[in-house]
Amino acid sequence: MKKGSFILIVLLLLLLSFHQAGMQDAVKTVRELSDREHPKVAITFDDGPHPVYTEMLLDGLKKRGVHAAFFLIGKNIEGNEEIVKRMQEEGHLIGNHTYHHVNLKELSQKEAEKEIQMTWKKIYESTGMGTSFVRPPFGEWRKNLDFDITMIPVSWNIDSLDWTTENTEKIIKRVVKDVGEDDIILMHDVYETSVEAALEIIDILRERGYEFVTVDQLLLE
């Protein structure tokens, strides 16, 4: 091969390499822009499982391909173990909401730890997995509780106040007018109107370009 031809081939290979690198950067930029165009939000449900309304909610979430977080009361798991198992099998995040829905700060340390541990055990017995996520009732978390695993308290910044009204439209408006990127929405899956409102909220926000994720994706990424 002549020297001039060899140099030409090298130059062409270099140009091709630069072109491919440029294309990769362009693809990366498009993906980043796409991520920014789809703000993330998490929807969470407290106080379940309910034998009727939680199942109704799970059906609606499955139909929409949306995952949520469920913070369960231990005593409500009894008799509803199959619902809890379904949550886990369908990809939802399961969290701890104490056994009796009590204010942990009003209990002794030993009593507070028991509330969390009893619910953790119920979740494990239902799913074969424990959980590190806890939502303390009333948002009142006690620090320095002694557990074998690290517990991650999960709060919220959009409160639907769905427990105060049976007006579905009022619940929907309260959430959609205030929600923003990376927000955590608090709802309850123990009222029919809350379930109806939640599914409509999901539809509205998805139309606005929001992507629904579980809270661990917001907190840990």
Which of 67, 162, 188, 189 is catalytic? The answer is 188
Beta-strand (E) ranges in the chain? 40-46, 69-72, 93-96, 133-134, 152-153, 158-159, 183-188, 211-212
- Residue 97: how many other CB atoms lie within 10 Å: 25
* CB of 87 closer than 8 Å to CB of 75: no
Nearest to 182 by CA among 150, 153, 220, 152: 220
* CB of 112 closer than 8 Å to CB of 104: yes
* CB of 183 closer than 8 Å to CB of 41: yes
Q: Is 100 a catalytic site residue? A: no
Which of 25, 46, 50, 59 is catalytic? The answer is 46
Q: What are phi and psi of 171, to 5 degrees?
A: -65, -45
Q: Is 50 a catalytic site residue? A: no
Residue 99 identity: Y
* CB of 96 closer than 8 Å to CB of 113: no
Angle between helices 81-89 and 109-127 (to 10 degrees): 70
SS3 197: helix
Active site residues: 46, 188
